[in-house]
Structure 1
Amino acid sequence: MRKEKSKFILLLFSVVDILLLIASFLLAKHLVFEGKIPHFVYYSSLILGWCIFWVLICLKYDLYEIPRILFSYKVLAKNVYALITFTFLSAGAIFFLTDYKFSRLFFTYSMLFFSFFVLLWRLFAFAKVKSYRKTGHSPSRILLVGMNENIATLINKIYLNPKYGFQIVGLYTDAIVSQGLESYYKGKLSEITTFLENNSVDEFIISLPYQQSKLINDLFRFADNNMMRVSVIPEFSEYLSQSFSIYYIENIPIMKLRSEPLKSLTNRILKRIFDVVFSLLIVILLFSWLFPIIALIIKFTSKGPVFFVQERTGKDDKAFKCFKFRSMTVNSVSDQLQATKNDARVTSFGAFMRKTSIDELPQVFNVLLNNMSLVGPRPHMLKHTAEYRVLVDKFMVRHFAKPGVTGWAQINGFRGETKYIKDMENRAAADIWYIENWSFFLDVKIVCSTAWSMFFKKDENAF
């Protein structure tokens, strides 16, 4: 039954996607050609190729798979990635495989409309799936084997949350069952085989110590012979303080303690394209006229250079020269002391620039020089890096990525003066989360949030 529903979802999503692609094609045709395309055969071949190509990309990236534990922003990020891939590969195919000159405006409109429609459709579909599961339809029947802190956390946050659509059919453990879980308790570990022989489950979740290896392997064997799926929560994860993943070399499991999406060459190229394109737009549309105005105001209101250049810690702990508009009077301690509230060194215009983050704009040149990114952990003075690497646990992990003009920590309020060690711990934790959870969609969100804050939100930590 579940297999048939999966086929139905695959068919539904692919048909809706194709209809949206055709609608985008027709809308672009109406806007660019006023309803009549210049060459019917070429453009008809184009839309046919697009439909086939898009479905293949969706199958490649598993875009028609709706996970049981559904986080919309992660699935949307996958769709954005697929849409960008679709756009670039389509443009490349048109350029290399045909001599016919398709309208670039038509192509741009088609891709923009299609991207908007697809993301809107995905959001609607995810909301409907969550609602459907929340009402108890098509639950995943799970059996829990073992009881520890991890199992208890999953029960409370996931398995008992109706939006994920799980149904606990039993809990077997030799440990004491906490109050509230008695209704799921079916017996001790030695009694589990009898239950499985008389009941059907979709999956069982095992979290047992290695001393129970015989029982674990017996359960694996039973699951394989009865078409049941098994997930294992390693018991050592209960005392491991960070997330990890496991991969295999010659069937030997190797544990990796940190996920780093930006180790992928494809992701780095995608991030770099975004950095360069967006930075060039800032230089052309904003910097070209704003720079002379800011430069003149800085020169007229205080003595000293327009730019403030300071060595800061970059990716892999390598120093680089970071550019800013000068917001302070020239002083001998700028490489030692960070700005504080009501800092006497800050000029009157400098205070305005720091409040609106305009002083950071020259860092788009650092982005174009490839020693910074638009989004990433904010770079610190060399002195502060030397201090905090000793005082803050895992502080240096944030240097696995290129520093950013803005970042996840900044839009979450962890910016400005760090009076206490806890302030820097919070900032480092946010930066590490960004490194481990990077996506193109997340970068776009951070840039948009930063732009909104610059114009419409007063930040009490900016001084």
Structure 2
Amino acid sequence: MFKGKNRFQSILLFILDLSILISSFYLASFISFGDFNPNYYYYSLLLGWGIIWVGVVLKYNLYEVPRILYVDKVLSKNFSAITVFIVLSAAAIYFFTSYKFSRIFFITVVSLFSFLLLIFRILFLYLVKSQRLKKDFRKRGVIIVGMNQNIQRLISRVYSRPQYAFFIEGIFTDTKLKGRLKNNHKGGLDDVKDYLLTNNPKEVVISLPHSYGDYIDELIHIADNNLVRVRVVPEFSEYLSQRFSIKYVENVPVMKFRKEPMQSLSNRILKRSFDIVFSLMAVVFIFSWLFPIIALIIKLTSKGPVFFSQERTGQDNVSFMCLKFRSMVVNTDSDNLQATKNDSRVTPFGSFMRKTSIDELPQIINVLFNQMSLVGPRPHMLKHTEEYRVLVNKFMVRHFAKPGVTGWAQILGFRGETKTVKDMEKRANADIWYIENWSFMLDLKIIFRTVFGMLFKRDKNAY
């Protein structure tokens, strides 16, 4: 936790965390008991919380700020750590104490601590980003061996961007370079060994064909003996169009395609717990009065049932009955034809519901029945699943996840009628990106943007 060049940063964050915890303790005491000085028994809680938090920090390595910094991923890790902290704290009180501590006090402390910690983490991460943009910030040098499309992508997206605080010491390749890359060219492949022996680069990135295996081995040997970190971009990643990871099974490297965070049991529990809590709160505080009003308007403005149910494709290609408020007149084409602009089947109130996405609200019931999640790829009618699984490459990958009431594709604008195969391809790619990059913070971001869009924006594709 406290080592290397980030020791000062780690100590500062640790002191800040403890200060937030102590402040939350005293604020909760005042809120719960009207006094900043609670019963002395409660100070044992403060000591226990401090010990538990140290363990959680060490387990999750919370004070590591990666060079390639994605704020949402760091916050997601912090949120997971806070969840574990709360569970362990509650368990410790239940199993190891006989004193009846105030539940309101406990809830107030952990709520204040969680909220303040995340706020200060956000401020800290943006401070780190702003510091890295300064000219006098110490950047990490990197030398590059080889040149191909992936290396060019790394240069443009990582090593050339100031927020990641890298600079290219030199590029070694026998390939002729063009543009600004020529300024970084230090020589050919024969010159790399001498450079490693006579200079002190911090990191070397190698991307060469497998036929250079012996040469790569020799470079790694030299780098290891000169305290140079090595990164290798596999040559075969040039022709693989999807993400992969390599794990070792009995020292045998096994390539795994596609990262799926939701395969983790803890992530699934976190996502499902949030689905249940959020959905129940929505039912109690919103739907209890809103549903009767919408149902009455639907019945008064058109003939037919209040709800419309349709069989749609769910997780693992298992179909389920998806619920919506009926926004069209009763017709026989609903299972075959998408809604189009100025569709004569859509009722006047149905048009309003579709533009504001109110018609999707009954899917909260599907969420409670574990057929859907609040966030995920939108479910399609069975006919479209069968059509697009043939027309769109990797279309079925989106069904690895539970379908959602809203999704990443929808907030990017890929919703409504799919006029061309390209439209569906964009939607499927966005859904696959969500599956591979899921985090709890990403779900919160999608929900926030969805609610904001319902209240203040009108999507031109919603009709």
Partner of 1:246: 246
1:74 — aligned with what?
73
Opposite residue 53 of structure 2, the aligned amino acid is W
Query: Aligned partners of 2:4, 2:277: CA distance in 1, in Å?
Result: 44
After superposition, the Cα gap between the structure-2 partners of 1:379 and 1:258, relative to the gap in structure 1 and judged at 3 Å, is: same
Report the CA distance between 1:116 and its aligned residue. Answer: 2.1
Deviation at 1:132, TM superposition (A): 2.8
- What's the counterpart of residue 386 of structure 1? 386
**Which moved further from structure 2: 27-36 or 301-310?**
27-36
- 2:6 maps to amino acid: S
Counterparts of 1:3-402 in structure 2, within 5 Å, are: 4-41=4-41, 43-134=42-133, 135-402=135-402
Unaligned runs of 5+ in 1: none
Distance 2:269 2:4 in 1: 39
Check whether the contact 2:398–2:428 (CA below 8 A) recurs between aligned residues. Answer: yes
Contact 1:339–1:417, Cα closer than 8 Å, also in 2 = yes
What does the per-residue CA deviation read over 1:113-168, in whole Å, with 9 as the maximum and x for residues that have no partner? 21222122222222222233333433222111111121122222211222211132
Given the alignment of the two structures, is residue 416 of structure 1 paired with residue 416 of structure 2, yes or no?
A: yes
Deviation at 1:60, TM superposition (A): 0.9
Cα offsets for 1:344-403 (capped at 9, x unmatched): 111122112112211111111111111111110010100111111111111111000000
Q: Which ranges of 4 or more aligned residues in structure 1 deviate by more than 4 Å? A: none
What CA deviation, in whole Å up to 9, does each residue of 1:252-300 have, x standing for no partner?
1111120100011110010000000001011111111112222222222
Whether contact under 8 Å (2:56, 2:81) holds in the other structure is yes
Q: Offset at 1:38?
A: 4.7
The two structures have a TM-score, normalised by structure 1, of 0.96
What CA distance in whole angstroms lies between the structure 2 residues aligned with 1:130 and 1:385? Answer: 43
State the distance in 2 between where 1:294 and 1:68 align: 50
Aligned to 1:456: 456
After TM superposition, give the deviation of residue 239 of structure 1 in Å. 2.0
Letter in 2 for 1:310: Q
Aligned-residue RMSD, C-alpha: 1.5
Secondary structure, counterpart of 1:410 in structure 2: helix
Q: By how many angstroms is 1:36 displaced?
A: 4.4
- Give the whole-Å Cα distance in 2 for the aligned partners of 1:238 and 1:436: 20
Q: Following TM superposition, by how much is the alpha carbon of 1:425 offset from its aligned partner in structure 2, in angstroms?
A: 0.9
Normalising by structure 2, we get a TM-score of: 0.96
Shift of 1:325: 1.2
Instruction: Tell me if the contact between 1:136 and 1:162 (Cα under 8 Å) persists in the aligned partners.
Output: no
2:29–2:38 CA contact under 8 A, matched in 1: no
- Cα distance in 2 for partners of 1:315, 1:82 equals 28
% same residue? 59
| Secondary structure of the corresponding residue to residue 231 of structure 2 | strand
For residues 287 and 150 of structure 1, the distance between their equivalents in structure 2, rounded to whole angstroms, comes to 50
Q: Which runs of 5+ in 2 are unaligned?
A: none
Q: Distance in 1 between matches of 2:175 and 2:97?
A: 68
- 1:24 touches 1:110 (CA, 8 Å); kept in 2? yes
CA distance in 1, matches of 2:154, 2:334: 49
Does the CA-based 8 Å contact 1:136-1:165 persist in structure 2?
Answer: no
